[in-house]
Amino acid sequence: MKTNFKEHELNRIIEMAWEDRTPFEAIKFQFGLLEKEVIKIMRGELKESSFKRWRKRVNSGVSQKHLHKRYTSINRFKSNMQRAITGNKISKR
């Protein structure tokens, strides 16, 4: 599939699509791609067996690829160290 994306952008789109916790809405926000466009990219760039496995996982309910399917209580992981980081430096304790 021919796209207007650079190789590193295409790799990032595939990586985001493969991650269960990254919703399609995040891909749309960052790259302007609708879900059907992401599916076309995945179909064109992955091996057939990998694409089928990805689609099965996305549609199975295990994946959280759609924001409206997520539990509202799910929060992103945040380590205790992140609270101490300011200005890209780790604060002294």
**Average pLDDT score over the chain:** 78
- What is the pLDDT at residue 58? 86
Specify the higher pLDDT residue, 23 or 85: 23
For residue 4, give the 3-state DSSP assignment. coil
* DSSP sequence for 66-91: SGGGS-TT------GGGGGEETTEEP
pTM, two decimal places: 0.65
With 80 as the cut, is the pLDDT of residue 19 above it? yes
- What is the pLDDT at residue 2? 61
With 90 as the cut, is the pLDDT of residue 90 above it? no
Residues 6+ apart with CB under 8 A from 43: 1, 51
With 70 as the cut, is the pLDDT of residue 31 above it? yes
